[in-house]
Structure 1
Amino acid sequence: MKIKTLKLTNYRAFDELELDLDPQLTVLVARNGAGKSSILDAISSNLGAFLTRLPGVSGHNPKDSDFRVTDSGEKPPFMRIFTRSFDGVEWDRTERRDKAKKTQALIPDGVGIKALNEYVDQFIDAQNEGKDYELPVFIYYGTGRGVFDIPQRKRGFGKKFPRFEALSGALESRTNFKRFVEYFYYLENEENRLQKEHRSFDFEVPELRAIRLAVSRMMPQFSNPRSAAPAGLMIDWNHNCTTSQLRIEQLSDGYRTTLAMVMDIAARMAEANPDTKEPLETKGMILIDEVDLHLHPEWQREFLPKLLSTFPKIQFVVSTHSPFIIQSLSDGKLVDLDHIKTEFNKSLKKEQSIEDIVENIMGVSLPSRSARLQKMYDVAQKYYDLLDEADKTSPEEIEDLKHKLDELTSPFSENVAYHAFLERQRIKAGVISSEEREDD
């Protein structure tokens, strides 16, 4: 299942929003506070109804804090999240402001979640009847994924991992990587047992093979993920022609966060569909907030293309502040939330420089200049505007004009060349005489 259309009504900052998503990649850009995370949270809430329908799994519901608050400080009668999948399944989740009958009368009819429940029931029925089926995966990685929770000991590790539980906790933006470590230990123990049984160290558990393959595709400098005592994971890192053996928590934030996420995706796919030939081709939807989190610009240029290649049948919806992420893409949809009401969405197919992206898409004027240089430029412009007024200024007002000019330039007094140039313009305009300048 992939989502084609998202509609929000009275959800957080949005009174009304309709957004069509790309079947493979949608990139959300905007200034802080424009609603990038809100869109990801809304999708997660509606996908949560899928998870909750599965036995032993739970999603999450919209919260009271998701209600939009009007300018007068009031809540509207209802809040609604509507989704439509590419295969035509429609459902929505509606929260009422209160249970009053008058409030209920103000709420337009919704479609509910009946169609979604019927869709999910096909997987439950297939599981109960022992039939083959492919379970989609839905995962949400929020900005909290940078906190990697490594268990300190193996006590209490799970010994059974049913297929549906591959989605357990998957839509919590603070992803529980501890569960992944438990699952990895389970798979490794199973592989060790089967290697002894087959008398061959070449035997691989398919689920571990999928995790190792995902790592090699996404981050080929890393290999051989394995358990570490007393608990945790080790990885081999080939760097500058030298291979180092490191615990995963010893890696930099960027490497650690990316490795954990890639292995978690692959593990959930393998757990959801253990009998499939290519677990990494599992279908589904993955949400990533601030996809550039902790990544060096050089790595940002190749991160998303590699992610799409590693998991080719997943629909990704991501947010970013990075022009390098945008520049790396040639397919998909770019949604500029700062201009969503004017449908001002840029194509990803056009080759653009970093400067073009920063200025034309991200709305930063003259990105080649530092903020200080831009401020100096703006001050000079205002300075000239004031000098233009000198011809119309009476002798009594000249002192006031001098004071204004001094205030403008004082923050940059240490820049002698800049100061001298602007002072020369004062002399030309007759606002200060050469004698006064010598006195100063």
Structure 2
Amino acid sequence: MTINKIRIKNFRTIDEIDLSLGSENRVICFVGENGSAKTSVLSLIAEGIISNSRMKFPNYQRRDNLRYRAVSNAEIKSNEEFYSVQLNYSNLLGDEYIYKKLVVKNKSINPSVYDNIISGIVVKNKYWTESLSFRGGDIEKDYLYNNIFMIRPGGRYELYEYDFNNVKDHPFVLKGKEPTYGEVPYSFCVEHTGSDLQDILLNMIFDSMVGYEDSENAVESVSQILEKITESKFGDSKIIQSPYRRVLFEHKGIIDSFSQGELDILVTISSILTRQIFFSKRFSSKIKEEKGIQSFFDIPGVIIIDEIDLHLHPRAQENYLKILSEIFPRIQFIVTTHSPFVIRGLPESSVVVKLPSGRVFDNDFESMDIDSITKIIFGYEGGFSESVKNEIEKFKLELSNDVNDKKILKNIYKKFKNTYSAKNELDLLLASFADEHLINFIKGE
């Protein structure tokens, strides 16, 4: 499954987002200040995917009068008469779907007001309507029948087991379940996993030990992906013997002791892997050969991650999406971030969108320093604090005077001599404006 078009008009503070996406655009990254509607845009996209699916999830099933997201005309941009959403998406088999949603302030609105933005749709309810171009038919035609769809919201977290006063045993019981035709056994919204994370990994390890090759490959890849993203050693995964059955990694210990960042990455990749293994069984050998599905890693889907930099070290932030898109080449990631490190680490052909303006950047962020990215993306001058900039400017002005106050120069230099970046700036000024005698005096040589 791939999203080919996103068009959102007059939503909250947003004038317009208009993205036409190709198969090469594996990452769409929304950036902007707090209050620029980044999270709300993700929820609109999620609504456009999940609301019309007939698949049953543990945490959601489409029913009359029950929606994934509330509809409100209070979200129409100030001084506008409507907001609209259009998503075009397709699956690996070539089926195409168009989702449209229109919310108006007044049902009697003249269609000419919105026809040039979103056409072929008429308000049917009190102030809103939506449509999907592809409905009915066999359940196999449902766009989520054989595609991964997962959301990791910004409020996600994992609990430290040792923070509890009463630590309960986790016995891990193998469970059997009859498969249901129109059901996906995994939740599409993964806020936190709790003890389920142990079960996910234990089941994966158990399946690998009884001979399921996909599970064996998945178990091996978990540690490898973690190591690539974090650049630290995890080693092989192992199981502590019952009755205190736990998963541990050779160089990191039990997963209960992982940092929040390590847990967040582990939950995301293990959740993707388990879903890929599940959905790979829904493609026949013939289809796999025709569509180039060489392993479960090639199973397609859309993963939405709000605040992808949450809990992560800058090094991991920079590595994260590049590694994920290498490991999962047919997964499309739609994310938000406040981190320039995430931006610099984006894979080639990523689309970076500034909200609320909808501006799409065409800069080569990979070759930029962090301060430059921060200035371009977030409109914020990095570098020195105001107080340090004032001291450096004072140093420069004093150097340029015909008569220098050597004491002031010496004190400023002494203040920053153990601060690499500030000292480097002062040294450049000395090299430009001072003679050797003055330089030696200021440096105390």
Fold similarity call, TM over 0.5: yes
- When residues 41 and 124 of structure 1 are mapped into structure 2, their CA distance, relative to the original with a 3 A threshold, is closer
- When residues 334 and 24 of structure 1 are mapped into structure 2, their CA distance, relative to the original with a 3 A threshold, is closer
Instruction: Answer yes or no: is 1:299 the counterpart of 2:316.
Output: yes
Q: Which residue of 2 aligns with 1:311?
A: 328
How do 1:8-407 residues align onto structure 2 when only pairs under 5 Å count? 8-21=8-21, 23-49=25-51, 52-55=53-56, 58=60, 60-64=67-71, 67-68=74-75, 71=78, 79-85=83-89, 88-94=96-102, 102=108, 109-110=120-121, 112-118=130-136, 121-123=139-141, 135-148=146-159, 153-154=170-171, 158-160=175-177, 162=179, 165-166=183-184, 168-170=186-188, 172=189, 174-176=191-193, 178-179=195-196, 181-189=198-206, 195=210, 204-220=211-227, 221-226=233-238, 233-238=246-251, 244=252, 246-274=253-281, 278-338=295-355, 340-341=357-358, 343=359, 345-348=361-364, 351-365=367-381, 367-374=382-389
TM-superposed deviation, 1:337? 1.5
- When residues 94 and 224 of structure 1 are mapped into structure 2, their CA distance, relative to the original with a 3 A threshold, is farther
Gaps of 5+ in 1: 126-132, 196-203, 239-243, 381-415, 419-440
TM-superposed deviation, 1:314? 0.6
Provide the secondary structure at the position in 1 that maps to 2:222.
helix
Q: CA RMSD in A?
A: 4.2
The answer to which structure, 1 or 2, has the higher relative contact order (CA under 8 A, 6+ apart) is: 2
TM-superposed deviation, 1:251? 1.0
Report Cα offsets for 1:236-256 as digits up to 9, x if no partner.
Answer: 143xxxxx5x22120111112
Q: Which residue of 2 aligns with 1:395?
A: none
- Normalised by the length of structure 1, the TM-score is 0.66
Whole-angstrom distance in 1 between the partners of 2:74 and 2:185: 27
Whole-angstrom distance in 1 between the partners of 2:71 and 2:394: 47
Provide the secondary structure at the position in 2 that maps to 1:122.
helix
Q: How many residues are aligned here?
A: 356
Whether contact under 8 Å (1:161, 1:183) holds in the other structure is: no
Structure whose residues are more often helix by fraction: 1
Provide the secondary structure at the position in 2 that maps to 1:138.
strand
Whole-angstrom distance in 2 between the partners of 1:42 and 1:263: 26
Whole-angstrom distance in 2 between the partners of 1:335 and 1:207: 34
Whether contact under 8 Å (1:339, 1:345) holds in the other structure is: no
TM-superposed deviation, 1:327? 1.8
- When residues 337 and 102 of structure 1 are mapped into structure 2, their CA distance, relative to the original with a 3 A threshold, is same
Whether contact under 8 Å (1:187, 1:207) holds in the other structure is: no
Whole-angstrom distance in 1 between the partners of 2:330 and 2:279: 15
Provide the secondary structure at the position in 2 that maps to 1:27.
strand
Whole-angstrom distance in 2 between the partners of 1:66 and 1:263: 38
Report Cα offsets for 1:354-396 as digits up to 9, x if no partner.
Answer: 222122233212x12124435778999xxxxxxxxxxxxxxxx
Provide the secondary structure at the position in 1 that maps to 2:221.
helix
Matched residue type, 1:89: Y
- When residues 94 and 183 of structure 1 are mapped into structure 2, their CA distance, relative to the original with a 3 A threshold, is farther
TM-superposed deviation, 1:222? 2.6
Q: Which residue of 2 aligns with 1:403?
A: none
Of the two, which has the highest radius of gyration?
Answer: 1
Matched residue type, 1:234: V
- Normalised by the length of structure 2, the TM-score is 0.66
TM-superposed deviation, 1:315? 0.8
Gaps of 5+ in 2: 62-66, 123-129, 162-167, 228-232, 284-293, 396-410, 414-445
